Structure 1
């Protein structure tokens, strides 16, 4: 692996340091104050200047994230609230807004987007004919069972930091879905790799919707920062776009009373089916890039939340379009996983210098 302009193999690094942690590593900690108290976290740190936290008790989502001292994972006023404080039906289905912070919030596993009450007859339980789902579903506030974490040397000589765990979303007379999540980062690199598998571990056909709410904040997001997308066309936008007229390409400073602007874009994939939307900050000389497979995530949303005190931009690859679950059921595009069926999602988060 290459660090600070020099190449190292496993033996060469061992000659210099008795612990790989001198170059980079993963450390298990427990957050211990305020609403975060009790959350297990894994601190990843690479020798190329990338650091990020994996929130084990928050579906192994990504919290704080920095590159060479500059933050890019959004930090909201809610902090990383312990899931034990979460009330799913609070705020008329908007309870996620009381625990919404960090680089990645996972939405699903059976519902994404806005609240919906839908048919649940597949579970064959007469007292529960329908199921009610809040904004972006339940999974983001379910603790994971941690399988392990650490480091391994790959065949090509790279030291890989990793963590893996399982999140179970299950109910009697309801869904039984399991998310197995693996997170990797090279000690010599500035890329986070996310490998997710969602499996129907139950015995009834079960709805499946999946979305990554990837949130970039200050200082990567700042006045003059620019979005770079391989646009084909914009297929939907919120009413606030026309009302406010704020560009979704050139980012302004925080706005007083800003109403979120949301877009669904059709992006042009490369020959391998991949797209790489970016946020570029030329003043800092840095970029953030998300890479995903359009076969796995056929829809993509851009979220602008440029209000004072909650300044963020979101990239959102999704399995379903912005109209949500009720519309997907009506038009036949809703995904149902058969017993034992699974879906795999491979995504990369990259930062670097221009």
Structure 2
């Protein structure tokens, strides 16, 4: 349990549970955020799940059913056509960020993941888009010594200043005593069959809509 409390400010409580089954390749992170104050309170939560080598490599790929993809800034827009593909470690690389709205199955759940070039290793993340309606993809394919890493980040918002997120309606509120629950199931995938099953599942959801790929960032002014 963690409390975020301030005089004339938020009085939020988060309860976290991490669970797994012995022998399983999966783990669940489950959070409940509660407003313990008397006044309505804004909140945001973004899960920054980082992955690196050996899963991350040249030709590795982000996979996930998406409704819309928007580059975070002009630098990210330069590589929008290859936003889901990763480069080899590149000295001096400047991070690129892509903001996504996911598609879900008929139960309101979606699955995203990272798979290696040979598609025999991967990680999947499954969650509800009612709980976590947005995904941020952070790509930092710098040299390994400087940090060759990527972040798959489900959340209630994108990683902008809260003023900007309010403009786009991405800052939810909790009434007094109200809670927001979110959970993510992480699964390690080994072998082409397991990775292929993930890709098939994602493609099935993606058939519900053609993705919209924006070439320009949102107007944040």
Range of TM-score over shorter length: 0.7 to 0.9
- Are 2:3 and 1:168 equivalent residues in the alignment? yes
Partner of 1:9: none
Tell me, what secondary structure is at the counterpart of 2:104? Answer: coil
Cα drift, residue 216 of structure 1: 0.8
- The answer on 1:347 being equivalent to 2:196 is no
Instruction: Give the Å deviation of 1:254.
Output: 0.7
**Cα distance change of structure 1 residues 186 and 288 upon mapping to structure 2, 3 Å threshold:** same
2:14 is equivalent to residue 179 of structure 1: yes
> What is residue 156 of structure 1 aligned with on the other side?
none
CA contact (8 A) 2:58 2:117 kept: no
Q: Distance in 1 between matches of 2:59 and 2:92?
A: 20
Conserved 8 A contact 2:102-2:133: no
RMSD between aligned residues: 2.1
Describe the superposition over 1:206-253 as per-residue Cα deviations: whole angstroms up to 9, x where unpaired: 211111111111111112222212133313432112446783323221
Aligned mates of 1:248, 1:223 — CA distance in 2: 13
Q: 2:23, 2:117 → 1: CA distance?
A: 24
Give the TM-score normalised by structure 2: 0.78
The TM-score normalised by the length of structure 1 is 0.50
Q: Please state whether the residue corresponding to 1:240 is helix, strand or coil.
A: helix
What do the CA deviations read for 1:325-349 (whole angstroms, capped 9, x no partner)?
1134345553221211110011111
Structure 1 residue aligned with 2:202:
none
Q: Does 1:326 align with 2:180?
A: no
The structure with the largest alpha-carbon Rg is 1
Deviation, structure 1 residue 290: 1.0
Higher relative contact order (CA 8 A, sep 6+): 2
In structure 2, how many angstroms separate the alpha carbons of the residues matched to 1:241 and 1:297? 23
The 5-angstrom pairing of residues 49-64 of structure 1 reads none
3-state SS of paired residue (1:212): coil
**Matched-pair contact (CA < 8 Å) for 2:31–2:182:** yes
Structure 2 Cα separation of the partners of residues 251 and 352 of structure 1:
19
User: Kindly tell me: are residues 282 and 242 of structure 1, through their superposed partners in 2, closer, same or farther at Cα, counting changes over 3 Å?
Assistant: closer
Query: How many residue pairs end up in the alignment?
Result: 189
Unaligned runs of 5+ in 1: 1-165
Contiguous gaps of at least 5 residues in structure 2: 192-221
Q: What is the match of residue 203 of structure 1?
A: 38
Map residues 193-342 of structure 1 onto 2, 5 A cutoff.
193-243=28-78, 247-283=82-118, 285-308=120-143, 309-330=146-167, 332-342=169-179
Please report how far the alpha carbon of residue 324 of structure 1 lies from its aligned counterpart in structure 2 after TM superposition: 4.0
